[in-house]
């Protein structure tokens, strides 16, 4: 085995890592024989030099095989095992709705999600807003819940892709989050370890996405689809717009509240509704449960209108240690911030720009995200009533609301959030990007 520093230098200098090199490095990441500093240096070398398709696939599979993999053979499921993953955005809570909707349509969804990275929120952080919700059950409990309920959204256990768990945390604090090979390996090592029959990706682009440029989002989508297929898991990707928050709220408990409303039939026609249906429809057809997009769309609509998707979400929450009456009494289980006050618009006009990344960073600064791994989160803080692009606002109207721990926190966030919204007298030159920009398969 070469010295770790020699392998780091090899990649830093733009050379290709062999399968043996990659397996050695992943083994060292897993057993901590490679230091945090060396892992960070390796991540930075990959960030700048990239990886070819073979390297990326080998890294993905080595990380998948760094721990246990899940088999569903003994559970006699009567439907496909499928999942969705997003590269992350602001107000992106699609997983919370999509998982139970797919389950209500006959699929099984073992969704292994992550925490927030940088300015984007994490599905696990949102779910931990719910009192008692256990994001890391043992594997047998996880699989039993998936079989009985149809969906379980959890985090990585120590035994599942442990190399990724450590690398994921170090990437977050070393400015190496938006590396295509590292994102590909991180996402797929967990997803492939879950024993999936099909996967759909939501790759975001725009000012609130890690892949701000469309060409970067396209490159990531193609990387994930090709590596997933090479590993035997059918995969497609949707490239979606993140030039404004997906919903009017950003913050953990606030997004859970929005998801509960959605599952009870509210927010139809919203951007989040459109994206949820686009991703779920793609996946239901891809896995063979429905033969056409029209059939899949109708089944998904029925899952909401009949209350079956809400029922699946409620059962999942209770099975994972949360309350049994979350829908009936959300205020009992979701904390609210100490200070909730509106930010007032200073001028009349059309909203012609929203810096989604800055909105996300406001939430982090309020305590709703992390600047170091495993830091505690205040689940109650965030932004709500955020406007949409093209919306007309009068001076003196509420521009948005800030949910903060203290008056000082509110004041700082209010100034920052207000500067993230551009209001102009005319919207003629503004171009709102389509929500679904491209499908990669």
pLDDT tens, position by position, 47-56: 999 999 889 9
Asked if residue 119 belongs to a domain, the reply is yes
The single residue of 191, 312, 403, 416 carrying the catalytic annotation is 191
Is-catalytic flag, 83? yes
What domain range is 26 assigned to?
A: 4-50
pLDDT beyond 70 at 10: yes
Is-catalytic flag, 54? no
Q: How far apart are CA 401 and CA 429, in angstroms?
A: 28
Q: How far apart are CA 243 and CA 213, in angstroms?
A: 11
One domain, residues 142 and 169:
yes
For 340, counting Cβ atoms within 10 Å of its Cβ (0-12 exposed, 13-18 middle, 19+ buried), the class is: middle
Asked if residue 431 belongs to a domain, the reply is no
The single residue of 64, 85, 119, 204 carrying the catalytic annotation is 85
Helices within 287-396 (DSSP H only) = 293-305, 308-319, 330-333, 356-363
One domain, residues 9 and 116:
no
When divided into structural domains, the chain yields a total of 3
Is-catalytic flag, 431? no
Is-catalytic flag, 123? yes
Residue 11: both structure tokens together? 């990649």
Q: Compute the chain's Rg from CA coordinates.
A: 21
Is-catalytic flag, 312? no
Tell me the CATH number at 195.
3.40.1030.10
The single residue of 119, 171, 204, 403 carrying the catalytic annotation is 171
pLDDT beyond 60 at 1: no
Q: Indicate the DSSP class of residue 108.
A: B
Spatial CB neighbours of 29, under 8 Å, sequence gap ≥ 6: 39, 66, 163, 166, 167
pTM of this prediction?
0.90
Tell me the CATH number at 401.
3.90.1170.30
The CA angle 321-323-329, to the nearest 5 degrees, is 160
CA proximity to 344, closest of 299, 411, 280, 398: 398
The single residue of 115, 190, 315, 379 carrying the catalytic annotation is 190
Tell me the CATH number at 15.
1.20.970.10
118 band by pLDDT with thresholds 50, 70 and 90: confident
Is-catalytic flag, 186? yes
| pLDDT (0 to 100) of residue 373 | 66
pLDDT tens, position by position, 141-198: 999 999 999 999 998 777 888 999 899 889 978 999 878 899 899 989 989 999 999 9
Q: How far apart are CA 363 and CA 356, in angstroms?
A: 11
Q: Indicate the DSSP class of residue 405.
A: S
The single residue of 11, 84, 308, 416 carrying the catalytic annotation is 84
One domain, residues 245 and 390:
no
| pLDDT (0 to 100) of residue 151 | 98
Asked if residue 408 belongs to a domain, the reply is yes
Is-catalytic flag, 171? yes
Mean residue pLDDT of the chain comes to: 94
Residue 113: both structure tokens together? 């999600």
pLDDT tens, position by position, 393-438: 999 999 999 999 999 999 999 999 999 999 999 988 788 899 999 9
Asked if residue 122 belongs to a domain, the reply is yes
pLDDT tens, position by position, 330-373: 999 999 999 999 999 999 999 999 999 999 999 999 999 987 76
Poorest-pLDDT segment among 34-43, 57-66, 258-267, 369-378: 369-378
Asked if residue 298 belongs to a domain, the reply is yes
One domain, residues 417 and 400:
yes
Is-catalytic flag, 403? no
Asked if residue 440 belongs to a domain, the reply is no
Which of 330, 361, 377 terminates a domain? The answer is 330
One domain, residues 111 and 15:
no
| pLDDT (0 to 100) of residue 113 | 87
pLDDT beyond 60 at 216: yes
| pLDDT (0 to 100) of residue 115 | 82
One domain, residues 42 and 98:
no
One domain, residues 253 and 390:
no
The single residue of 66, 86, 113, 157 carrying the catalytic annotation is 86
CA proximity to 117, closest of 43, 45, 15, 62: 43
Asked if residue 255 belongs to a domain, the reply is yes
The single residue of 186, 228, 249, 281 carrying the catalytic annotation is 186
Sheet holding 339-344, edge to edge: 339-344, 398-404, 382-384
């Amino acid at each position: 085995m070469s010295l770790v520093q020699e392998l780091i230098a090899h990649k830093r200098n733009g050379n290709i890592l062999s399968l043996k090199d990659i397996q050695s490095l992943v083994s060292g990441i897993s057993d901590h024989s490679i230091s945090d500093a060396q892992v960070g240096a390796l991540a930075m070398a990959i960030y700048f030099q990239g990886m070819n398709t073979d390297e990326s696939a080998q890294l993905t599979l080595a990380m998948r095989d760094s721990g246990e993999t899940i088999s569903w053979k003994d559970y006699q499921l009567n439907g496909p095992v499928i999942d969705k993953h997003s590269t992350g955005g602001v107000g992106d809570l699609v997983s919370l709705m999509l998982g139970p909707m797919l389950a209500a349509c006959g699929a099984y969804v073992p969704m292994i999600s992550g925490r927030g990275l940088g300015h984007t929120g994490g599905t696990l952080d949102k779910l931990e807003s719910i009192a008692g919700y256990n994001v890391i059950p043992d594997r047998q409990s996880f699989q039993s819940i998936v079989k009985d309920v149809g969906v379980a959204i959890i985090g990585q256990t120590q035994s599942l892709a442990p190399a990724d768990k450590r690398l994921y945390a170090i990437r977050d604090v070393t400015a190496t989050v938006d590396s295509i090979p590292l994102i590909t390996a991180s996402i797929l090592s967990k997803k492939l370890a879950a024993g999936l029959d099909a996967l759909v990706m939501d790759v975001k682009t725009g000012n609130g996405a890690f892949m701000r440029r469309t060409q970067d989002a396209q490159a990531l989508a193609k990387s994930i689809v090709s590596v997933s297929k090479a590993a035997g898991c059918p995969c497609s990707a949707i490239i979606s717009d993140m030039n404004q928050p997906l919903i009017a709220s950003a913050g953990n408990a606030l997004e859970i509240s929005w998801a509960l409303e959605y599952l009870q039939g509210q927010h139809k026609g919203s951007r989040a509704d459109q994206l949820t249906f686009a991703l779920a429809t793609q996946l239901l057809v891809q896995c063979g449960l429905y033969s056409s997009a029209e059939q899949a769309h109708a089944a998904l609509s029925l899952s909401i209108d009949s209350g079956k998707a809400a029922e699946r979400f409620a059962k999942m929450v209770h099975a994972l240690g949360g309350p049994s009456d979350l829908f009936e009494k959300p205020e009992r289980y979701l904390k609210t911030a100490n200070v909730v006050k509106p930010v007032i618009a200073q001028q009349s006009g059309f909203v012609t720009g929203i810096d989604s990344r800055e909105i996300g960073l406001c939430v982090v600064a309020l305590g709703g995200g992390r600047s170091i791994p495993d830091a505690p989160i205040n689940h109650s803080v965030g932004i709500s009533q955020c406007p949409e692009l093209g919306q007309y606002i009068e001076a003196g109207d509420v521009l948005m609301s800030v949910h903060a721990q203290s008056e000082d926190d509110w004041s700082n966030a209010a100034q920052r959030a207000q500067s993230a919204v551009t209001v102009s007298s005319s919207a003629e030159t503004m171009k709102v990007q389509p929500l679904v920009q491209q499908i990669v398969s």
